[in-house]
C-alpha cells in the first residue's frame, strides 16, 4: 500500500488528561453518560452531540454516518431522520444499532448499543417544529440517500418547497421523524498513555440490573 508524504506510522498522540476506574463510575450508565455529556458541554467540546450511528442490513452489511443526539434519558437515546434513508432501511430489516461519541478535547469515547424503535409522533412533531425554517424545508426537499442528477435538482426542490410554504408553517412530512435506541450495552473509554486505555463496560442483565466490568485496552 502506497504512502503519501509523512509516514502515517509516525503520526502519534499520547493520551494523558484523565483516568477512569470502576470506583469512579455510577452504577447506572445513564447517569454516567449524563455526567460525561455535561462535562463535554462545559469543556466546549466541538459538536459534543455528534455521534457515529452504525446500522447493518439483514445480511449484516454495516454502514455508519454522523448524526446528532437530540434527546436522552433513562437509557433511551433519540435521533431524527428521513424514514426512507439508508439508515432507516437498515433499521427496518435489522432493528439494532450502535452510537459512538468521540470527545477529542477530553480524550474520551462512549459507545452505546441497543435495539431501535420509532419515536412517538408527538415527539417527532415537537422536534420538527423546533427546527429553523430551511431545515424544515430541507426535510421536504431532499430524497435522502437516493441518486439525484446534480446539485441544481436539489436546489430546485428547495425553491419549490420554500415557495409552497412561504406564508405558512412547514408541516412535518410523514416520512420524517424520530427513533429511540434503547441501550443494553455501554462502554466508557478514557484515553491513557501508551495506548493502555481505561475501558469500563456496562451490560444489561435479565433482571434489569447492570453488570460493570473493566475491559483490556
- How many other C-beta atoms can be found within 10 angstroms of the C-beta atom of residue 90? 22
**Model confidence pLDDT, tens digit, residues 4-29:** 656 767 677 777 789 999 998 999 99
DSSP 8-state code for residue 59: T
Dist CA 89 CA 136 (whole Å): 22
- Residue of 65, 70, 192, 195 with catalytic role: 195
CATH class given for the domain over 14-131+174-215: mainly beta
Assess whether pLDDT exceeds 70 at residue 203. yes
The whole-number pLDDT of residue 5 equals 57
The whole-number pLDDT of residue 7 equals 75
- How many other C-beta atoms can be found within 10 angstroms of the C-beta atom of residue 19? 10
**Model confidence pLDDT, tens digit, residues 150-197:** 999 999 999 999 999 987 899 999 999 999 999 999 999 999 999 899
195 belongs to the catalytic site:
yes
The whole-number pLDDT of residue 2 equals 60
| Cβ-contact 51, 101 below 8 angstroms | yes
Per domain, the residue ranges of the chain are 14-131+174-215
Global pTM reads 0.90
Residues 6+ apart with CB under 8 A from 25: 32, 188, 200, 212
Amino acid at each position: 500500500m502506497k504512502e503519501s508524504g509523512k509516514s502515517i506510522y509516525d503520526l502519534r498522540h499520547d493520551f494523558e488528561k484523565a483516568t477512569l476506574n470502576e470506583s469512579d463510575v455510577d452504577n447506572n450508565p445513564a447517569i454516567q453518560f449524563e455526567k460525561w455529556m455535561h462535562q463535554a458541554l462545559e469543556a466546549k467540546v466541538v459538536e459534543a452531540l455528534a455521534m457515529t450511528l452504525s446500522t447493518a442490513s439483514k445480511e449484516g452489511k454495516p454502514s455508519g454516518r454522523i448524526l446528532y443526539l437530540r434527546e436522552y434519558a433513562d437509557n433511551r437515546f433519540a435521533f431524527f431522520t428521513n424514514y426512507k434513508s439508508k439508515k432507516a432501511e437498515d433499521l427496518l430489516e435489522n432493528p439494532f444499532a450502535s452510537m459512538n461519541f468521540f470527545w477529542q478535547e477530553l480524550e474520551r469515547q462512549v459507545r452505546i448499543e441497543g435495539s431501535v424503535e420509532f419515536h412517538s409522533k408527538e415527539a417527532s412533531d415537537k422536534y420538527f417544529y423546533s427546527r429553523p425554517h430551511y431545515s424544515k424545508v430541507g426535510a421536504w426537499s431532499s430524497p435522502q440517500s437516493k441518486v439525484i442528477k446534480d446539485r441544481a435538482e436539489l436546489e430546485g426542490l428547495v425553491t419549490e418547497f420554500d415557495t409552497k410554504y412561504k406564508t405558512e408553517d412547514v408541516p412535518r412530512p410523514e416520512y420524517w421523524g424520530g427513533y429511540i435506541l434503547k441501550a443494553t450495552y455501554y462502554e466508557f473509554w478514557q484515553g491513557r498513555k501508551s495506548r493502555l486505555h481505561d475501558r469500563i463496560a456496562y451490560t444489561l442483565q435479565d433482571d434489569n440490573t447492570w453488570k460493570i466490568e473493566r475491559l483490556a485496552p
